[in-house]
Amino acid sequence: MLKSRNVTKEQEQFHDDICQHVGCLACWLEGRFNDYVSVHHIDGRTKPDAHWLVLAPCGNHHQIGSGCEAIHKNKARFVKQYGTEMELYKMQVEILLDKKIHVPERVLSLSGFKA
């Protein structure tokens, strides 16, 4: 089993910012703000950009799926309803930028906002 990469201080700050200022994008798309969230890694925890490629879904949209679609419960239905994880990733970056929250250079690059 591969060991998870350590999270840097800059990555921790990015995680805090998406949790506090963006929250659950599935909830947001349903018309409400929910910052009772946890960090979800889009593509595992061991790849080089693992801790940059994250979303902040609430427990219900992350794993539970009680009355809604959850990423881990049925990813295909989640994607159909809310969009791909990369589409949501780009959306959260846009929200941070609109709120004038610092977005790390690597995140801007990964999201396609900067070459």
* CATH code of the domain in which 90 resides: 3.30.40.190
Residue 55 in domain: yes
Residue 98 in domain: yes
Question: Residue 82, Cβ neighbours under 10 Å: how many?
Answer: 23
Question: Which pLDDT tens digit goes with each residue over 51-82?
Answer: 999 999 999 999 999 989 999 999 999 999 99
Question: Which pLDDT tens digit goes with each residue over 89-105?
Answer: 999 999 999 999 999 99
Residue with tokens 């881990």: 72
Residue 64 in domain: yes
Q: Whole domain around residue 28: which residue ranges?
A: 9-104
State how beta strands 54-55 and 40-41 pair.
Answer: antiparallel
Residue 112 in domain: no
Q: Per DSSP, what are the bridge partners of residue 54?
A: 41
Please give the pLDDT value at position 55.
Answer: 98
Q: How far apart are CA 59 and CA 36, in angstroms?
A: 8
Residue 1 in domain: no
Residue 3 in domain: no
User: What's the whole-model pTM score?
Assistant: 0.92
Domain count, the chain: 1
